[in-house]
Amino acid sequence: MSTSFFGERFRRVMAEFLIFLKAGKFYFFPSARNLMLDLWYGYLHMRAVRADTTADIFLNDRVLLMEEAMADARLAWKKRRLYLRFLYAAADPELYSMIITFLEAPSFSSALSAGLIDKIERVRKPGLGGTRVVKEETVEEPVGVAGDAGGEPEQPAGSVEVASAAGSVEGARKRNLFAKTYFIAAELYYELKGQQAEFESLSRRTNKLAEFVKKQFHTVRLPGTFSDLRGYSYKPVLNGDNESRKGQLKPFFRQLSENPDVFGKPIAQRAQRILVEYF
């Protein structure tokens, strides 16, 4: 074989090694900037492996990995906080678009990275792209460790308490369910009953809708952003031509399909069918 062949192969191996170093830096030195490096170079590597991989697909996979990592009580708290902030940002339509733009940049952009980091640090709750700085006390470091006498670790900030159908809270069980997940659950409930017009009316009276959701889904409290969704419907986005916006609905339908004990089997099954058909 020619020297040029080995030279080209060596350059390719070195390029992949440099990508590995930059993408893997976050796991040894977790920071917001290193997380951005991990995401951008991770997407670069994924495109090299599979050319048809889009930023939406890559981001969805990363969100799933972060959610799985968050379920591990051994996850370092610095990484947990960074993942939590990023998951909040990914649920916000404006920030989701910014993340996609950042990933699709032809080269790693320090300016886009810095802008994202600033906005991610300021996001308040899932589904809301606020500009108010997050108070650090909303994400407190857990005192106990799973398995210790001190009890189980605390759940991520922004979770909501869900009571069982029997009326108990089942040991104050908490889940990180988004406000829009509950709103869509209510729409699916009325949709399955053939009462879409009733929902359209109720969706404009969020106080009444909140009362219905709490009673129907045995929810002790709702995320504060629930009232901001006045008049919302998932259908225009789901049936629209904007694939990026449509992809933003996936986390909400995933939560619906994965929690039949909260939302009921008919709603969970309907959400699963939508996931299969549209995503």
Question: According to the 3-state scheme, what is the secondary structure of 102-151?
Answer: HHHCCCCCHHHHHHHHHHHHHCCECCECCCCCCCHHHCCCCCCCCCCCCC
Residue listed under structure tokens 């659950």: 185
Q: What is the pLDDT of residue 144?
A: 34
Q: H or E element: which one contains 76? A: none
| Separation between Cα atoms, residue 225 and residue 217, nearest integer Å | 17
The residues with which 128 forms a beta bridge, in sequence order, are: 125
Instruction: Count other Cβ atoms within 10 Å, centred on residue 105.
Output: 13
Q: What is the pLDDT of residues 127-155, one digit of tens each?
A: 444 444 333 333 333 333 333 333 333 33
| Separation between Cα atoms, residue 114 and residue 128, nearest integer Å | 20
| Separation between Cα atoms, residue 201 and residue 96, nearest integer Å | 29
Which burial class, exposed, middle or buried, applies to 17 when counting CB atoms under 10 A from its CB (0-12, 13-18, 19+)? exposed
Q: What is the pLDDT of residue 182?
A: 93
| Separation between Cα atoms, residue 128 and residue 130, nearest integer Å | 6
Instruction: Count other Cβ atoms within 10 Å, centred on residue 80.
Output: 21
Q: What is the pLDDT of residue 210?
A: 92
Q: What is the pLDDT of residue 26?
A: 67
Q: What is the pLDDT of residue 23?
A: 54
Which of 165, 180, 212, 150 is CA-nearest to residue 88? Answer: 180
**DSSP secondary structure of 180-201:** HHHHHHHHHHHHHTT-HHHHHH
Instruction: Count other Cβ atoms within 10 Å, centred on residue 168.
Output: 11
Would the pTM of this model clear 0.85, i.e. be above it?
Answer: no
Q: What is the pLDDT of residue 7?
A: 56
Q: Tell me the two tokens of residue 105.
A: 């940049």
Q: What is the pLDDT of residue 24?
A: 60
> Where in the chain does DSSP place strands (E)?
160-161, 174-175
Given a cut of 70, the residues of the chain with pLDDT beneath it are 1-26, 124-175
Residue listed under structure tokens 């002790």: 220
| Separation between Cα atoms, residue 213 and residue 160, nearest integer Å | 13
CA-to-CA separations, 252 to 4, 45, 53, 279, in angstroms, rounded: 51, 28, 22, 12
